[in-house]
Structures are given as structure tokens and as C-alpha cells.
Structure 1
Amino acid sequence: MSDFGTALPHPARDAALIERLRARRSAPAQGLAAPGPSHADLEAILEIGLRSPDHGKLFPWRLVVIGPQTRARWVAELEAAAPTDKDRAVLRKLAAPPVTVMVVSTPVDSPKVPLWEQQLSAGVVCMNLEHAANAHGYATSWITDWYAYDPRARALMGLRDDETVAGFIHMGTAAEPLLERPRPRVGDKVERLP
């Protein structure tokens, strides 16, 4: 007996989606401004993010939507704890965007699914959130930075010792046009076996 639900329709070729994916690019987090996702858009974006591949149906992640009061408090406390001026400066990436979702990898004890696969699933949640936000018309930036790893910052953010930040997914409107950057060529990164 399968614990999968009803059959979904087979996806049709979607030229607009293909073009959107071919042109996907990140925005500088500190250059994201209002408007950000509305409540309804954010709920849809989160729902899409939760449809990510997950070996064993473990859901080895959690999402934290960081509201403006929490963001301001975190930035103030992190400024005081930042080891260097450069570390203080990168806090603009956390302070500027109108909406931020912290994706946390939460390991589940499983004899079948190794930790690495669970962490990959959390990474896919990050990418699905980006794609969903882009499809709703918002620019995004997926980053971590020093505060994802600093013990004092992790405590401030309420992370357990066994949890890791897969990413801060920042969403908003790009203040400037997004510029293309160098990309690898398929022939340089793909090996084809007979």
C-alpha cells in the first residue's frame, strides 16, 4: 500500500517557465527593497517551497519567517557581536530586504536516509522558495554569511546544536536591474557516459 495520494496531471511543456529558469539570477540582498511579497504571495511561496523533494518523507527542515521586529533586534545584537567592521557591514544583507525566510536543516534520525541527503533536501527548499518568489514577480538572494555559523548568533536565532542554516532567502524588489554574471558552459561541467 502506497502512502502517496491522488495522481497529479503530467506537466505540459511550459516555454515561459523554461525561459524564466534560463534567465534566473540572484539579486544583491542589500539592494532588495519594498515591495516584498504580500501575505497571500508569501503563503503561496512557502507552500511551493514545502513541495521539495525529500527522501523518506522526513521533512528534515523548518522555515522561519523573520518579521521586522525580530530582524531589527537580531541586527542590533549581531552588530554588537560582529568580530570585524566587514562583518558588521554584511548585516545590511539581513537588514534591507522586506521579507526574509530562514531555512533551517533539522536532522532526523533515520536508518535509511543519510544526513547528507537531508541537508540536500533543505537546500532544495531554498531553491524552490527562490523560484516561487521569482514566479510571483520578486527578486531574491540566497545567502548565509558569518552569522549562520557564529555560536552567539546561532543562539540568538534559536538554533539547536544539531541544526544548520541552509540559507536566508531574501525577497523583495531589486533596486537596480539584475546583471548577468559568468556561467559555466555545459561542455565544461557535464560528463556523458555511453
Structure 2
Amino acid sequence: MRFALNEKNDAVVEFLRTRRSTPVLQLGEPGPSRAELEEILTIAARVPDHGKLAPWRFIVYAGKARAEVGEALAEITLADDADASPERLKLERERLTRAPLVVGVISRAALHPKIPEWEQIMSAGAACYNLVAAANAFGYGATWLSEWYAFDERAFSALGVTAGERVVGFVHIGTRGEPPFERVRPELADVVTWRGEI
């Protein structure tokens, strides 16, 4: 869809105004097809990226790979708590199987002579959000989570995260079981500071 310079696109504005994450437990089959996911990821990668570094990458967890990661998370849990309940271990085993598909967004931010590391991390965050928005635009529900295993390096091998990388989040994608509820949003007066007149 093309539109003239400075022309408001009502459909896009309404989509952005009403976009909402879907709770992970409300995400069911089907998930995106391979072709759909490739389009979604192409859109997700279209973010501000000072220096064209692509300081992030995506890891797609699908099929049995999701349960394999869950087994590793359960093992880590048992190592920390030998008395972990069956319910807790079940929770860990199902971390990545709650939705049909999970995409890890991984920051590769590193020291650079011109591009601050913070800008690289922010680009990865933008990729994470763009992934959620793109999945929503394709008609799927999605939610961005970062749970304990995003910060525990013992899980990185099972997750496919390499040395020097950091997890920005896991985007769970599937079909909405019900319309997502609206939540309270901040009042502009609480989050906007005006400097000068428009």
C-alpha cells in the first residue's frame, strides 16, 4: 500500500492504536507457516540500525526443539532445588511449548569505534517489538516475554545463545483463543514533557 507524503493512513493508525499483546496461555494452534514467518522476520528486521550492523539475530524454536529446551530448563531447576515440585518442573518443561512457535531475539551488541553499545541494544529492542507488531499484522497473537532463563547463562547452550550474546526476549506466536483485553495505558500528561510551542 502506497500513500502520498504526509497522508494519514487510517488503517495503519488504527492498527497501531489498538495493537495488543496476547497472554501466552491464550496462544494456540495454528502458528505461522514457514513462508509467513519468513515475511514476519523480514519485517521484524526492518528497524533503526545505526551503522547497519544488524546487532541482533533471531532463533526460531519450533516443533520438538521447544520441548528439548524445556528439559534443559527443568534440569537447571532441579540443580538449584532438588526438592522442586512436579508442578514446577512441568512449568519449566512447558516454557516454550505454550505457543506453537517462539522466536528468541538475541542482542549481538559489542564495542564499536563509532556506534554506542546502547544504540545497538535499542535496535535489538526495536526488532523485538517489530516482530510482535508484524505477527499481529498477519493476524496472529503474540507476546514478548523475558523470563529467568533469558538471564541465566546455564540455559544459553540449550537456547542456542553464544558467548557475548544477550537475550532481548522471547516472542511467543500463535492463534488467539479470545480477543485480548485492554489494559490501562499511561496518560500523556504523565509521560510527555513539552519544550516549546507547536
Q: Is TM > 0.5 for Structure 1 vs Structure 2?
A: yes
Unmatched 5+ stretches in structure 1: 1-8
Match of 2:70 among 75, 80, 85: 75
Amino acid at match of 2:50: H
How many Å separate the matches in 1 of 2:93 and 2:6?
41
Shift of 1:11: 7.2
**1:23 corresponds to which residue?**
18
How many Å separate the matches in 1 of 2:68 and 2:93?
12
2:61 paired with 1:59: no
How many Å separate the matches in 2 of 1:30 and 1:75?
16
Amino acid at match of 2:28: A
2:123 paired with 1:128: no
Which sits farther off after the overlay, 178-187 or 154-163?
Answer: 154-163
Shift of 1:71: 0.7
Q: CA 1:133–1:192 in 2, change beyond 3 Å: closer, same or farther?
A: same
Amino acid at match of 1:77: A
Which sits farther off after the overlay, 133-142 or 72-81?
Answer: 72-81
Which sits farther off after the overlay, 152-161 or 125-134?
Answer: 152-161
Shift of 1:100: 1.0
**1:4 corresponds to which residue?**
none
Shift of 1:10: 4.7
How many Å separate the matches in 2 of 1:126 and 1:164?
13
Provide the alpha-carbon RMSD of the alignment.
2.0
Contact kept? 1:63, 1:103, Cα under 8 Å: yes
Amino acid at match of 1:46: L
**1:184 corresponds to which residue?**
186
Amino acid at match of 1:141: T
Unmatched 5+ stretches in structure 2: none
Shift of 1:111: 1.0
2:170 paired with 1:168: yes
Contact kept? 1:25, 1:178, Cα under 8 Å: yes
2:19 paired with 1:14: no
Identity of aligned residues (%): 42
How many Å separate the matches in 1 of 2:20 and 2:165?
28
Q: Could you say what secondary structure the match of 1:94 adopts?
A: coil
**1:95 corresponds to which residue?**
97
The two structures have a TM-score, normalised by structure 2, of 0.87
How many Å separate the matches in 1 of 2:12 and 2:133?
10
Which sits farther off after the overlay, 42-51 or 174-183?
Answer: 174-183
How many Å separate the matches in 2 of 1:81 and 1:132?
33
Q: CA 1:101–1:153 in 2, change beyond 3 Å: closer, same or farther?
A: same
Shift of 1:155: 2.4
Matched pairs, number: 187
Shift of 1:30: 2.5
Shift of 1:13: 2.1
Q: Could you say what secondary structure the match of 2:132 adopts?
A: helix
Shift of 1:176: 2.4
Amino acid at match of 1:165: V
Q: Could you say what secondary structure the match of 2:59 adopts?
A: strand
The two structures have a TM-score, normalised by structure 1, of 0.88
